[in-house]
Structure 1
Amino acid sequence: MTVDRNTPVWDDGAWTPLPALDGDASADVCVVGLGGSGLTCIGELLRRGVSVIGIDAGQVAGGAAGRNGGFVLSGTYDFYHDAVARHGHHRARRIYRLTMDEVRRIAAETPEAVRLTGSLRIADTDEEAEDCRHHLAALRADGFPAEWYEGPEGRGLLLPTDGVFNPLHRCRILARRAVDAGARLYEHTPAVQVRPGKVVTPAGTIRCGQVIVAVDGRLEAIFPELAPRIRTARLQMIATAPTDEVRVPRPVYARWGFEYWQQLPDGRIALGGFRDAGGESQWTHDAQTCEPVQGPLERFLRERIGVHAPVTHRWAACVSFSTTGLPILEEVRPRVWAAGGYSGTGNVIGALCGRAAAELALGAPSELGEVFASAPESASIPA
């Protein structure tokens, strides 16, 4: 069977491309990045009645927004009990509540792309099982839904409010809606320069009152001043042909979240992980697959999940990790805002940050902006 290399399993090939910008343009706000956070930002701006131009160096959701594992999870990079210890009880609780609400909002906004199935965190060792019990206790103490789980996947936690989606399909829905609502969106239009009041592209300059850069992977390449606080990593995945060898009704996180998989409605298994197996080489802006990660992924598929269906897709994407485990959401230059550094949690926290960036750029009150602002710095990027 032919393997589709570096095309995600989510891509059905049905997208009608948007034009590239050809000439100068102007709008109240220019949004750089047409992934989940950028498109959510554009939707919020349109709802508030401002004119918007959105651009992307590639296609809609051509980066990690359309190439990830398709998990829709509550919380941050850190498991809840760790988030409480790291960020403080009040902040961690507020963020968890906001992300739970956002999961429901995402499902209501694009029900054709989302399934609220719950999710599993599965322990690989006794030590991790004990950590799962601390995780469970912390959630229950604050009234968040969670259950102990033992089943075919292993033992750990069942988090009933989580789900899965087709991330590329969702972004394409949001892009079409934005165009229908009056946004001017352009693919294959990279931002060559981002300055207060303007974004320079290869074929024209966009003049605007505010710029919002909603980009996750490679954000530090656009804003070198953020480099001490974020670092881009490559994440890799594989997917199989449809199979009935196993039944995986919920998405699964295992080995402290390093491995993650789900079964699509047609029976395919989509599996990601083993970034740590690639070592330092996985801190890169190169979104190409490599054997040090692809090999362990396929062995895990065969030996741990028990699936022998042929691999049909292998792909990679770049995301950025922050020193705090919380996103970058701030005015990095006068009238230039950045949203990114989602540390692998961009599907939900990225959507929250997209809306918050719109609120902040327009000078509106923003609970989301408040809860993510002024996060205490940490000494290093999460491993």
Structure 2
Amino acid sequence: MNTPVWDDGNWHPLPHLEGNLEGEFCVVGLGGSGLSAILELLRLGRTVVGIDAGSVAGGAAGRNGGFLLAGAAKFYHQSVAEHGPALARRLYQATLEQIAHMQRETPEAIWPVGSLRIAASEEELQDCAAHLKALRADGFEAEPYEGPEGQGLLIPSDAAFNPLQRCRTLARQALEAGARLFENTPAHKISGQEVQTLQGCIRCQKVLVAVDGRLEHLLPELKGRVRTARLQMLATAPVARRYKRPVYRRWGYDYWQQLPDGRIALGGMRDAGGEAEWTAQNEPSDTVQHRLEALLHQLGIEAPITHRWAASVGYSANGLPIAEEVRPDVWAIGAYSGTGNVVGALLGREAAWVLHGSRRPGAVLLT
């Protein structure tokens, strides 16, 4: 069992690439960031070929917890301290605007309900207060929270969504706009003017590698700066309504939300797996799954477990994503440190403008 709760089984697979193609740009990776880049390039009037080693959003983009959180991977007050107030504020504002853009693109897949950060200790509760203070100081929405989930803070501008539904919708939009997309087409060799696959070749002007997990395997020059980890989740049969908003708890190591049909999607416990979770394998492990079950019982949820799944994501040392030209005319974006749904989509759009030979107005990370 390694199927995410998001998969309704209605996707019609895309073909794999056979033979040679030409296009102005090639995007490697058909997750949220790659598809956002493809759509932005199409809006700019460019021609694009997109490939993925698996299926559309078959990696972490369609196998995550379904959180749309503003900001970088670090909590806002941590970002201010580590990245500086100017960058932290600009990035937070840009991700707020990106969430709004995503709602306009795929309204049926997004639930604008906010999010909760819930403390699991007195120390974390004090940190929530610091988090709240920093957000309010810079004019961002946040409120202290106390409710059935616990104590912490409410961030009204965040959202929840179905990540796989969104990506598949974006892929359909891209195909309708003229993109050529191919599944089950791993990149074998990448240069700025050519991407070779096992059964074909794409000749182009520039390449964007939009891959999160295993990015350092695809581009070995990033080893030491990017490290792949496994994130695991499970889901239950529907239960009575308990949670209005997605919940981030225990410094983000535990997270869950209740879907519109009543099912609970719960993930985390990566720290319980220790070093074994720093792996490119994406099969669920007994150690972490048992801990997730224990958390489910701790929350008082006794419904049958219907899904278990895992995905690979990339972490960077400083919590900021990779966004750079790593080879001549080969750009890479990834290593979102577990929170790539918003930042990844934003970076995809920024990267499209860079490939186009310009700068996206308001760009934050690729300027």
**TM-score computed with the length of structure 2 as normaliser:** 0.99
How many Å separate the matches in 2 of 1:190 and 1:373?
A: 26
Written as runs of structure 1 = structure 2, the 5 A alignment for 1:329-340 is: 329-340=323-334
Partner of 1:124: 120
How many Å separate the matches in 2 of 1:73 and 1:128?
A: 19
Partner of 1:353: 347
Does residue 253 of the first structure (1) align with residue 253 of the second (2)? no
Shift of 1:373: 5.2
Shift of 1:283: 0.4
Partner of 1:381: none
CA deviation profile, 1:113-141 (whole Å, cap 9, x unmatched): 00000100000111100000000000000
Partner of 1:380: none
Written as runs of structure 1 = structure 2, the 5 A alignment for 1:132-171 is: 132-171=128-167
How many Å separate the matches in 2 of 1:373 and 1:58?
A: 27
Written as runs of structure 1 = structure 2, the 5 A alignment for 1:65-76 is: 65-76=61-72
Shift of 1:98: 0.5
How many Å separate the matches in 2 of 1:78 and 1:37?
A: 19
Shift of 1:175: 0.3
CA deviation profile, 1:155-186 (whole Å, cap 9, x unmatched): 00000001100000000000001001100000
Shift of 1:257: 0.6
CA deviation profile, 1:35-55 (whole Å, cap 9, x unmatched): 000000000000011110000
CA contact (8 A) 1:197 1:207 kept: yes
Partner of 2:237: 241
Picking from 284, 302, 305, the partner of 1:289 is 284
How many Å separate the matches in 2 of 1:157 and 1:196?
A: 46
Shift of 1:366: 3.2
CA contact (8 A) 2:33 2:210 kept: yes
Does residue 24 of the first structure (1) align with residue 17 of the second (2)? no
CA contact (8 A) 1:353 1:368 kept: no
Does residue 299 of the first structure (1) align with residue 294 of the second (2)? yes
Picking from 103, 107, 117, the partner of 1:107 is 103
CA contact (8 A) 1:34 1:54 kept: yes
CA contact (8 A) 1:66 1:167 kept: yes
How many Å separate the matches in 1 of 2:127 and 2:308?
A: 32
**What secondary structure is seen at the aligned counterpart in 2 of 1:339?**
strand
CA deviation profile, 1:230-265 (whole Å, cap 9, x unmatched): 100000000000111x51000000000100000000
Amino acid at match of 2:349: R
Q: Which runs of 4+ in 1 moved over 3 A?
A: 366-369
Does residue 7 of the first structure (1) align with residue 3 of the second (2)? yes
Partner of 2:258: 263
**What secondary structure is seen at the aligned counterpart in 2 of 1:11?**
coil
How many Å separate the matches in 1 of 2:131 and 2:361?
A: 26
Shift of 1:291: 1.0
**What secondary structure is seen at the aligned counterpart in 1 of 2:341?**
coil
**What secondary structure is seen at the aligned counterpart in 1 of 2:203?**
strand
RMSD over equivalenced CA pairs, Å: 1.0
Does residue 372 of the first structure (1) align with residue 352 of the second (2)? no
CA contact (8 A) 1:356 1:368 kept: no
Amino acid at match of 2:348: G
CA contact (8 A) 1:237 1:315 kept: yes
Amino acid at match of 1:249: K
Partner of 2:185: 189
Partner of 1:344: 338
How many Å separate the matches in 2 of 1:160 and 1:250?
A: 10
Partner of 2:315: 321
Partner of 1:311: 305
> Please, which runs of 5 or more residues in structure 1 have no aligned partner?
375-383
Amino acid at match of 2:268: G
CA contact (8 A) 1:352 1:368 kept: no
Written as runs of structure 1 = structure 2, the 5 A alignment for 1:43-122 is: 43-122=39-118
CA gap of 1:353–1:208, structure 2 versus 1, over 3 A, is same
**What secondary structure is seen at the aligned counterpart in 1 of 2:35?**
helix
Shift of 1:372: 2.1
Partner of 2:224: 228
Shift of 1:15: 0.2
Aligned length: 367
CA contact (8 A) 2:120 2:250 kept: yes
Shift of 1:361: 1.2
> Please, which runs of 5 or more residues in structure 2 have no aligned partner?
none
CA contact (8 A) 2:230 2:281 kept: yes
